[in-house]
Every structure is written in C-alpha cells, then in structure tokens.
Structure 1
Amino acid sequence: ASGFPFAALAGRSTVLRHPEAGRAGSTASTYANNPLGIAAAKATLEVVRRDTLLARVTELGAVLDERLAELHAKYEVLGEVRGLGLLHGLEFVRDRTSRRPAPEIARAVYRHALDLGLRTAIGGHVLRLAPPFTIDRALLEEGVTLLDRALERATGDTR
C-alpha cells in the first residue's frame, strides 16, 4: 500500500476455515477492512505491474548482490551477506569463523552511513538494506559507495 496502513491475512484454507479461526479476535488486525488501505494496495499493485517493477528489482538486485559481495570480500567484519532482490541483510561479526555477533560494529556502520546521508535499518548485529523498487542504478551504486565509506569509518579499513 506504498506506506499506507494495510493488512492482509493469508493461509491454508483448512486453517483459515477452522472453527478456532472464527473466534472473536483470533484474526483481528488494526489495519484490516479499511477501504482506503485496500485502494492504496490495489493502486500500488497496478503500478508494480504497469512499470514492470519486479523485472527491475531482479536486474538491480543482481547489481546489489555483486556490489555487496565486493564489500564482503573487503571487510572481515561482514559475516553473512544475504538477500533477495533489493532486500538485503549484512551480518556484522567479530570473526567469520565463530560468527560471534558484533552489534557495536553494526551500530557504528549505521551511524556513519546516516551521517553520510544513507538511511539503513538496524536490528542487533544485522544491517538491513531495502531501497525502493523505483530506485535507479546510479543512485543504488551511490548508496553502496556510501555504505563502503561508512564501513571504512567504522573499521578504520581504508584499503
């Protein structure tokens, strides 16, 4: 719904039609049954289809995969770098062998990235990247360059 509050409930028919699912409050949602939210979600899906955004995500996701693999090779504090399309998580570790979490390094990278103008999300020792489907390649590349600079500042590694 492009940021507008919206919720959907999906599941196996046998589960959703089970008598327990019909009990009051069992499938309640703050954002369900809102006509404006439904309209926003429908409009969003129409734009995704019209502008072939999923194909764009696949193409740009491959670029992001490649660039993040370069960062992984450069910085030992990066444990696993995982993702699909444009959604990626960068795990920060004390060393790759033990993969002991390093939330303080993740926080430092997060703060440096923010200072450089790059907004990411942080959860414990994982930094999440979630650029919009509509981002262009040049801006995506600039974002990864800023992330590299944030990693340099946080680790002191200026290779």
Structure 2
Amino acid sequence: MKVKKLVRTTAMTGVTLMAMGTSPLAHAESPSSTGKAVAYAAGCPGDGRIARNHTCTSLSSGALFHQKYTNDKASTSYKKTGGSGISARLGFNRAGVTKWSGWFSQGGGTTKSYSWSGVTYCASTVGLLEVKGQQTYQTPLASCTS
C-alpha cells in the first residue's frame, strides 16, 4: 500500500512540475545547523509535510507554507525569521496554472499570507514564493492523499 502511495505521489509531483513549464523552481533546504534551527523556529518539519494538504519548505531565512481547506480555499504564507528585507509575492500552482498575490515588502520576524477561493480540496497544488532578484521557491505537493 505504501509503495503504491509513493509511486502515485511521485508521479503527481512529476506531472505538476512538468506542467509548470521550463522556469526553474527551487526547493531549498539548508543542511547547516543554522538552517535546522531556522526550520525548527519557523515550524517546518524535515520532510515538509505538516499534515494532509499542509506542506512547507525550509529556507535560509524562514519557511514557506501552503495549506488547503475543505471550504475550497488555499493559502500560502512565508514566515521570515531573519535576514535582510525582501520584495516578494506568494502564489500556488495547480495543473500548470499559477495564481499570484500582489508584490509586498517583508522584513525579518514577520509572516505574510495570501488566500485564494475556488481551489478544490483534493486538487494537487504547490505553494510558491517569488523573491525579486532571487528565484521562485516551492513547497512539496499538497494533496488530500498525502
């Protein structure tokens, strides 16, 4: 049973990433002890899975979270625990279609969140953070089966 679930999750991740196009997305985790402290402080477990439909990615200055709710809403948030200020926007991708928040500025010790309606609970989605002058970061795939 676990092997089937792993194969299905891996296949869905590949399909989702392929559908997102050729722009590179980064899934960042810091192997340093400082990175582990940041991830713990930001509340992101090592495997990036908090609960069903709730995922996260540890970044060098915080953590990116993505969650879906049974009322067809989804949210992406970035908890910035340190580092210099950034200009960024939050988003999510479902089957190759990306939705974005507006651009915002964010300093250390703050959390920014954005929510969207009309996102089917069991649709597989990926949370996104685009930082101006850097790159786009993503969470692991959020789905109702994992």
TM-score by length of 2: 0.31
Name the one with the larger strand percent: 2
Structure exhibiting the larger radius of gyration computed from Cα positions: 1
Name the one with the larger helix percent: 1
TM-score by length of 1: 0.30
